[in-house]
Chain A
């Protein structure tokens, strides 16, 4: 009897202890589940918030405002030369890209000439991806300033001046808006309050981003990318190296038997830089 009673007592105590242990284990497990669940929820919410926030922050692929006279279905392209010229040169350039500077300094005068002769219609895509790799804002601010110059009808001249005064890639001189405005001074009619405000306010920042996003989605990976009637010609067309003489030859060959476009500057002001050689326009910092 008493034996049995003691047994019963012990089991009751054991049962209580076991129960308490089980409850504690359960509480610990619950705590773990709550903490683990909350942590996973925080991570998931962060990801969703990221998508929403960045979606709101990112600039649209179709710009809200584009410089006057830009072409293409999203107005991302700056046209220079006669639109009815038989050949089209498509150029992707970044204001900070050294190879673009070298290309412009070597080929700029030839391209200006081909434009003025009605032989070549040039489509510029002013991209701005060097800023991602090399700290600074010179690509984006420079591209915006080029948009401002386009808006004012002085793209070609300002473009030529900008590349002739291009700093080293690591020097973010174009990230300084005052520098960009100062470079407009030699171009008659460009250095206006409207242009200054456009540069200072980064008026076409959204357009610059849209042009870059379009380039991101393209198959082109570097600048300058230069296409003559859709065919890559930089640094070579087929096996032939690009030179100013070869470019003229290729354009003439492509234009053979076709009617040339309207000659002249086609809306771009004829500054001394546009058709003549570099020596006509002494520019500070060009460094020979």
Chain B
């Protein structure tokens, strides 16, 4: 979808600064291959996160409840829907359909997670983020808020790349555009 027309690269006239060269790589076929790798990496993240939470609905609900943010009436709907949502994102990323929209939704979801973890950290409650299953209250010595936030920020960068360059090789989008 969208994306800028890939400018033909001229390696023999590459006298512009490195930034320009990088941009040309990002815009060219190499960039589309990079995009494919990023897309599949993000798919693995969502697939793993979703499947890890899908088996035990009560556990998923408790992971949500432990944040002490949502009212009890929303705890189960969110805990139940989230793993399926994550798996859907994974599937869409694997087939490469609507990559930019999927990347935007991914980024919004990751920003929500980062905000939730930060909120728990700031409020001084001791929980596991439940990002890849598990979740709930843990001993104060076992919280890993910084690692969890950094990890999610890394995933956010993957999503951001795909928002910026949604055109990727081996994607349904490319096939539809042809």
A: which residues have CB within 8 A of B?
Answer: 31-32, 35-36, 38-40, 42-43, 45-51, 53-55, 57-59, 129, 132-133, 209, 212-213, 216-217, 221-222
**CB closest residue in chain A, given B133:** A132
Given contacts A31-B176, A39-B102, whether A47 and B58 have CB atoms under 8 Å apart is no
Shortest beta-carbon distance from B43 to chain A in Å: 14
**CB closest residue in chain A, given B1:** A32
CA distance A43 to B86 in the complex (A): 9
Given contacts A35-B1, A133-B136, A221-B137, whether A46 and B84 have CB atoms under 8 Å apart is yes
Q: Is B89 positioned at the interface, with any CB of A under 8 Å from its CB?
A: yes
Interface residues of B, dominant DSSP = helix
Q: Which of B37-93 contact A (CB under 8 A)?
A: 54, 56-62, 65, 72, 76-77, 79-85, 87-89, 92
Not counting A31-B176, A51-B80, A57-B57, a sample of 17 additional A-B residue pairs whose C-beta atoms are within 8 angstroms of each other reads A32-B1, A32-B2, A35-B1, A35-B98, A38-B97, A39-B101, A40-B105, A43-B92, A46-B81, A47-B84, A54-B54, A58-B57, A59-B58, A133-B134, A133-B136, A133-B138, A216-B65
Other-chain contact of A216, B58, B81, B88, B138 (Cβ < 8 Å): B58
Given contacts A39-B92, A209-B58, whether A55 and B76 have CB atoms under 8 Å apart is yes
**CB closest residue in chain A, given B86:** A46
Which A residues touch B137, using CB under 8 A?
221-222
Q: Is B27 positioned at the interface, with any CB of A under 8 Å from its CB?
A: no
Other-chain contact of A133, B61, B89, B98, B128 (Cβ < 8 Å): B128
**CB closest residue in chain B, given A216:** B62
Shortest beta-carbon distance from A137 to chain B in Å: 11
Which B residues touch A58, using CB under 8 A?
57-58, 61, 76, 80
Q: Is B135 positioned at the interface, with any CB of A under 8 Å from its CB?
A: yes
Shortest beta-carbon distance from A80 to chain B in Å: 26
Q: Is B152 positioned at the interface, with any CB of A under 8 Å from its CB?
A: no
Do B136 and A50 touch (CB < 8 A)? no
Do A129 and B136 touch (CB < 8 A)? yes
Other-chain contact of A46, B56, B88, B133, B134 (Cβ < 8 Å): B88
Q: Is B173 positioned at the interface, with any CB of A under 8 Å from its CB?
A: yes
CA distance A280 to B43 in the complex (A): 58
Can you name 23 A-B residue pairings with CB atoms under 8 Å?
Answer: A32-B1, A32-B2, A35-B97, A39-B97, A40-B105, A42-B92, A43-B92, A46-B84, A46-B87, A47-B81, A47-B85, A49-B84, A50-B83, A51-B81, A53-B84, A54-B57, A54-B81, A55-B57, A58-B57, A132-B59, A133-B136, A216-B58, A216-B65
**CB closest residue in chain B, given A46:** B88
Query: Which 4 pairs between the two chains have the least Cβ-Cβ distance?
Result: A50-B84, A39-B98, A46-B88, A54-B80
CA distance A35 to B96 in the complex (A): 11
Which B residues touch A32, using CB under 8 A?
1-2
**CB closest residue in chain B, given A45:** B88
Given contacts A48-B81, A51-B80, A54-B80, whether A216 and B61 have CB atoms under 8 Å apart is yes
Do B101 and A36 touch (CB < 8 A)? yes
